[in-house]
């Protein structure tokens, strides 16, 4: 049976104390709502009906810039009158023969596997609820079962008796329905309750009254169904997610020095015998080859790292392609557009931007290489900079194979250094250098005798 998903994302998120909609706050590098939509897409949802309210324009604008892979039907809930009321806004666009899953934009870690199982329960019975047994049941709806263990009702805590409040099986809020039956039960909801709202959970009692057996699925992962109401809960869920990801990597053969100090914020392809030290951040879409060692406090963003590379401590690599056998850092910064050839060495306090360094190249320390094309086997001395910006436009530096650039050199672009040329230390190079030439661009040294060094004024 074809499935539609209704995602409720209309709440204000008051306890986030933020000008940003709660569902756009990020977990593992992307909005909580994106995680939910990804889960819905993974079960091949026919249409996702996204119910928004507070700051709906911001939410819509985000997903126009970052579209999902399933059709979205935008639904606005102008008044927040409860979960039942929110679902009512979406159901007119749902065909009667569909199975409907109801999810929440602030419950980001729900898994496609769980949704598949819950959908199957609803296909069998017409209605199914996802439950959790927890000692932390305060404030949550309780699952009421009869003597045969069948679900007969869900009672919100504000409406529960003292005896019902002792129940440890709670409603997660995530439910699945036959669409035609859901539409019928929604017409029967009332606001006669402690909160004066339309409770979606009241559909359970209505289903039982109609003789429907209510299916139930119990999850054993509390974090999977944890909703986020404040930033502390978001931080706790983030750390749980990251530890889970780190453990998965370790079980796949990656050495993770401390699972509590690794952040993965996007898709990751990773090879064999990789070692990740503490406080590594992997953000965006990254690819790491075999036998790569990444040191502590390294940030990797949207980059590809070839086999047998070593990235030393405190390096920052973004939008870069690193070929096999390279050594980078410590304290190196590779900016977008950087490409390193095989066995390149980039040392401490080196910054490279929108440049290629050929195989066997060395930029060992304290240098800036920007908008440059550097061929193979080039040695760049300490303190060298490419002066690529004239205050208005960027210009390119070309350094051909086998060049040796002495320390503290300024290469004023546009400029080209010929094959196997040598540039003397301390030079300012403003004109092209021929192949195999020695270029020295220094002012003449003048020694002044009898010069008296300034002295400190006496107070």
Q: Which residues are catalytic?
A: 365
DSSP lists the bridge partners of residue 119 as none
Beta strands in 199-320 (DSSP E): 215-219, 255-256, 262-265, 268-270, 275-276, 280-283, 286-288, 293-294, 299-301, 304-305, 310-311, 316-318
Write down the residue that tokens 């005896």 correspond to: 163
DSSP assignment of 223-242, as one string? GGG----SHHHHHHHHHHHH
Confirm if 204 and 215 have CB atoms less than 8 A apart. no
Q: How many CA atoms lie within 13 A of 408 on its CB side?
A: 4
Q: How many CA atoms lie within 13 A of 289 on its CB side?
A: 14
Radius of gyration of the chain (CA): 31
φ, ψ dihedrals at 266, nearest 5°: 160, 180
Q: Residue 338: name the closest of 214, 249, 346, 330 by CA.
A: 346
Other Cβ atoms less than 10 A from the Cβ of 123: the count is 15
CA 291 to CA 273: how far, in whole Å?
A: 5
CA 145 to CA 93: how far, in whole Å?
A: 33
Quote the DSSP letter at residue 213: P
Q: Residue 367: name the closest of 391, 349, 353 by CA.
A: 349
CA 5 to CA 217: how far, in whole Å?
A: 18
156: helix, strand or coil: coil
Specify the length of the chain in residues.
459
Q: Which two tokens stand for residue 288?
A: 């790491």
CA 422 to CA 408: how far, in whole Å?
A: 13
Quote the DSSP letter at residue 451: -
Q: Residue 127: name the closest of 180, 178, 65, 54 by CA.
A: 178
Beta strands 304-305 and 321-322 are: parallel
């Amino acid at each position: 049976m074809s499935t539609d998903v209704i995602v409720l994302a209309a709440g204000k998120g008051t306890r986030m104390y933020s000008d940003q909609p709660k569902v756009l706050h990020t977990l593992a590098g992307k909005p909580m709502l994106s995680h939910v939509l990804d889960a819905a897409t993974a079960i091949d949802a026919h249409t996702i009906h996204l119910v928004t309210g507070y700051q709906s324009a911001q939410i819509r604008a985000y997903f126009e810039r970052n579209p999902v892979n399933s059709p979205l039907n935008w639904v606005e809930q102008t008044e927040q009158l409860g979960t039942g009321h929110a679902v009512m806004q979406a159901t007119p666009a749902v065909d009667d023969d569909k199975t409907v899953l109801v999810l929440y934009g602030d419950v980001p870690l729900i898994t496609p596997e769980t949704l598949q199982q819950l959908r199957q329960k609803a296909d069998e019975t017409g209605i199914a609820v996802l439950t959790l047994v927890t000692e932390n049941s305060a404030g949550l709806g309780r699952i009421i079962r009869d003597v045969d263990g069948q679900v007969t009702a869900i009672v919100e805590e504000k409406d529960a008796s003292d005896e019902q409040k002792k129940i440890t099986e709670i409603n997660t809020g995530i439910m699945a329905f036959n669409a035609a039956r859901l539409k019928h039960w929604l017409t029967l909801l009332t606001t006669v309750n402690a909160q004066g709202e339309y409770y979606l959970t009241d559909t359970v009692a209505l289903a039982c009254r109609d003789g429907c057996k209510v299916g139930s699925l119990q999850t054993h992962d509390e974090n999977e169904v944890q909703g986020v109401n404040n930033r502390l809960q978001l931080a706790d869920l983030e750390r749980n997610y990251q530890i889970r990801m780190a453990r998965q990597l370790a079980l796949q053969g990656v050495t993770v020095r401390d699972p509590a100090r690794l952040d993965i914020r996007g898709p990751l392809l990773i090879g064999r015998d990789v070692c990740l030290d503490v406080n590594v951040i992997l953000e965006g879409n990254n690819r790491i080859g075999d036998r790569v060692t990444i040191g502590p406090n390294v940030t990797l963003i949207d980059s590809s790292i070839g086999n047998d590379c070593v990235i030393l401590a405190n390096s920052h690599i973004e939008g870069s392609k690193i070929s096999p056998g390279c050594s980078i850092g410590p304290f190196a910064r590779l900016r977008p557009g950087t490409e390193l050839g095989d066995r390149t060495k980039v040392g401490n306090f080196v910054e490279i931007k929108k440049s290629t360094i050929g195989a066997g190249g060395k930029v060992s320390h304290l240098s800036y290489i920007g908008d440059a094309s550097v061929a193979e086997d080039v040695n760049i001395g300490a303190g060298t900079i490419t002066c690529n910006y004239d205050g208005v436009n960027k210009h390119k530096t070309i350094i051909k194979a086998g060049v040796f650039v002495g320390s503290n050199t300024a290469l004023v672009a546009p400029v080209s250094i010929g094959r196997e040329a040598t540039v003397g230390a301390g030079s300012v190079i403003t004109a092209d250098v021929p192949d195999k030439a020695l270029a020295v661009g220094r002012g003449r040294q003048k020694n002044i005798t009898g010069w008296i060094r300034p002295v400190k004024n006496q107070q």
